[in-house]
Structure 1
Amino acid sequence: MSLGPVMLDIAGTVLSDEDRAVLLHPHVGGVILFTRNFESVEQLHALIREIHALREPRLLVSVDHEGGRVQRFRDGFSHIPPARLFGQLYEQDHQKARVLTRQAGWLMAIELRALEIDFSFAPVLDLDYGVSNVIGDRAFHHKPEIVAELAHAWMQGMADAGMAATGKHFPGHGAVAADSHHAIPVDGRDYNEIYAHDILPFRRMIGYGLSAIMPAHIIYDNIDRLPAGFSPVWLKQILRERLQFQGVIFSDDLDMEGASVAGEQYSDRARSALQAGCDMVLVCNNRTAAVEALDNLGEYNDPVAHLRLARMHGRGEVERQQLHSSSQWRQVTEHLDKYSANPTLAFDF
């Protein structure tokens, strides 16, 4: 059984019989975890091991764990500061900001890998134009060159920990005020402006070897009438052909309002996203919708997508107790705590 094209969620802290049956569906390829799935570090590790043991190749286990506002697990995990902090530090000292950013990427990833989570959907490559509350301090900076440089350092830290990186939200979510979770945002800029600014971090990260990209549920109406995640223009012509991206394309959550233009039926949304160029679609917080999508994908099979998805499995083994006793973990947590509390401090490492 290969990895299917659908990633979904589970309701609680343990697998129910219904969960097990759904996760064995051939079109399932992964599970995304949320805060509700966490009770303790030990419980979470046991849950992930049970998910991984269900199938071979094992299902991908993922989480949104960027840091700042978007950090699903807190107790027993280090606090990861929001990306904006690293942009502020960059304005003081470029090199040391890159070092701290790489350390943060490593810390985020290594603590998840110690529980056998395959990957986190990070880093954010959006620009901070000061208009999007849903992005805001999740962005490293407003200058695309700085975003690319710091995101590269973050990705290097993730790679050091054995985790693949996912850049989001292609081609850029930062220039619209509307939140695609609750609205259908429209970005009226022309392609040349988007390419020169918002796409620059994606283009550079692709050159650095970025493993995966998540497109935005935003309509760029001067380029296509469909949101980027459902648009062959954005995914096939621009991302695959023009930018030569060879990694995984994950849809954003199909239960978001920004995805509603692709159809009322979730099976229609899933098919549209896959036909547009996505390798895997996310259907979160709506089990009925997830099952509808699974049961109506027919004989869908994409061997190239299977190969891409297999590369998202985490690499290496990490023992949590040994990690916490290591000098590297202690030094990195000390650095991040110090500069999170006061980003204006002079660097001393």
Structure 2
Amino acid sequence: MQAASAPVETAVTQAGANVTLACPGVSEHSLVFTLEWRARARLVEYAGESTTVWEHRRRLSLEPGSFALRIRPVESGDSGVYSCLVNNRPQPEALVRLVVQDVPDPPGRPLIMGFTSRAVNLSWAPPQDTHNSPIMHYIIQVRVGEEGDWDQKNAIVTEANETSHQVGGLLPYTVYSFRVLAVNAMGPSRASKESYYMVTLREVPDGRPTITTAHNTSATSIYLSWRAPARDSIHGEFLGYRIEYRPREQRHESVKEIYIRDANVDSHTITNLETYTQYRVSLQVFNPEGPGPSTTVLVMTDEGECRSVTIPDLDDLPHQQMMNMLKEFVPRLLADDHKPPRIEISQELPDTTNANEKFLENITTGDETENYRNPPGAIAQENFMPGARKTKSD
């Protein structure tokens, strides 16, 4: 009988188990003078009272009486066809096929096939040996940075046994690497070699700087200080800050820009501004892709230097003459500048009759008529011109 035509008995087991393979045609009552177990090579030999183990001495042995081959424990590499030759017979009575199921070998190193700012396409080779159990799916593990830990808790499980996958949910301008595990009915394989490092593409920042201080330092300057947004919101190389400003009442065409090309700067003074003007000031961070969202504040420049105006003594003037003289002073004062100046009054008005109060209620200042309800005298004089200050004279 040829070995090729001998019947085959199959034994299936899992790696790590203990296995006993019976010698076909031999029982406890058989008369055995010599016996040899073979697979790819000679394994165990029995002759008379002597037993020799040629391979895997710590795991292989003969069972007394039945001459069965014991393998403890069995490994995936033990899979194969075994033959038991009794009393120098040239052919075995039957062959024994041992099938050892184990976790698969690791897949090939994953390759980066393409990427964006938020996703990467991976491809890898399947395991060389699945160890008698087909691949069901793969597990992809992600590592952020060159020194980070592998994120095993949030590993990606593929839906099938395809050897490519798109990994999403990544962050822009971030270093990543990947590794893959194959899974069969026995469990997951060892991890593959890690992919080569890659950096996702940039995006414009989505973090806003926080303005901590914004105030005028003079009639023509504004001071800003700020705190940078979180680093992971920059999404690229942090190049610096962009300041945009314009008078609040003017159109967008009047916007001016300042670029601060140093990410470590945290304050700046804007100069050469208009006096006593409310400005709309915006601050952004920027990277090579452009600026991010802005933080905006409104800041007023100072009123400027005081102008001293001397009003003649009004004590002895008739009411009509006093009214005519003040009507002449006010428009001329306003004509010097299109914004209300600060006025230093060097003469406190004396108490007058109710006619003076009626006059103060109807003084025309430029384009508007200010109506005042305060009593006549120093307080009324202070109020009729916004920003005026009074000083008492002897």
Same fold (TM over 0.5): no
Is the strand fraction higher in 1 or 2?
Answer: 2
Normalising by structure 1, report the TM-score. 0.20
Which structure carries more relative contact order (alpha carbon 8 Å, separation 6+)? Answer: 1
Normalising by structure 2, report the TM-score. 0.19
Computing the radius of gyration from Cα coordinates, the structure with the larger value is: 2
Is the helix fraction higher in 1 or 2?
Answer: 1
